[in-house]
Chains A and B, each alone.
Chain A
Amino acid sequence: MKILIVDDSAFMRTILKNIILKSKYSDAELDEAVDGNDALKKFDQMQPDVMLLDIIMPGKDGIEVLKEIGSSAKAIAIISSVDQKEIIEEAKSLGARGYLVKPYDATEVIAMIDTLA
């Protein structure tokens, strides 16, 4: 399985990587993107099975990323501090198959990947 983690916070990417590496998905191929533009580039290169995508990022945000690749991606889950209903609905209408609001725990992240895999 290939998982792409998109978050402008290096530490949040580290946390998510650690959660995945300690789970049943420890053999997954992982890559990271630091912002929206990097996410689009890495998406093209990697063609991930699962993308964990933050919403609030400098430059191109998660919603804009979804507008570009939401319909072609296999499975995208939003992992964000944003919990406004309108944004969640917009993300889902653009192709996000799951939405996890911070603060999340390891169990929730793995359960999310389970539903997307």
Chain B
Amino acid sequence: MRSLLRRYREPLFVALLLALPFTVFAVKAKQKVALNAADRVVIAVTAPVEKLIVAAVHVGQDAWHDYVALGSVREENFRLRRELVREKAQTTAFAETKAENDRLRNLLEYTDKQGPLRSLVAPVVAVGASPHSHVLRIARGSEEGVHRGMPVVAPDGVVGTIALTTAHYADVQLIVSPTSAVPALNERTRARATVKGTGDQARCKLEYGQRTEEWHDGDLVRTAGTIGFFPQGLPIGRLVNVSKKPTGMFISAEVLPAVDFARLDEVIVVLGPQDAAGNALVNASSVGTAQ
């Protein structure tokens, strides 16, 4: 028996090493990913290095942009001045529209059910390397008040939710992940649906959009603001390839995400509603209300 074991020592060892992760995988596959102590140690070692490399690259890029690539600054300056004048004119128009909107809201006794939100700016330090990992790593963790399930947004729209946290880092599961589903509504018609990830970095799909409602290519889809999900009104993306099948209750459509996930340097973690005292900020680096 012993000689047999010695003879097949290597195949048996490999079989054991295959059985070990297979067992863990089979048991935990349907569960949410959780970090153990070893995972936290490895992330604590690697994440600061990732942060350092990204910071070094940004310093290099800034140096290039600030000192070397100044050739077209004068021309750009003229262009920006023209844009500024145009923007000022637009801002004035927007201010008038806002004032009118406020008046009408008061008139209709409109109550904003969506209170102001606490949020935290978080720099992105890495991305998931595999084409099947739809993950960003951010340099904010549970010590800064970031917890699993919190929504993460960017100025352009919805990014994803917090999947894992360590003390100072967290992984964000993007909305394009096949495990992601976001309650949504059509900005134009207010029709409700769900935006689901497909695993494709460039598009999601729209589900449960009723065929009796109006859906068109180019319609902007925003978050519906269901309790426990994203705040209401954040852009998710625009509809493409809308088609009504001859049968069935729902339409078929895809959503092009509003956010370019490959070009995110910073994201905003929505920590939750603001407290009564108006303590909106977690620390000096956080931003104010995100609405």
> Are A and B physically bound partners?
no
Q: Using a CB–CB distance below 8 Å, which chain A residues touch chain B?
A: none
Q: Using a CB–CB distance below 8 Å, which chain B residues touch chain A?
A: none
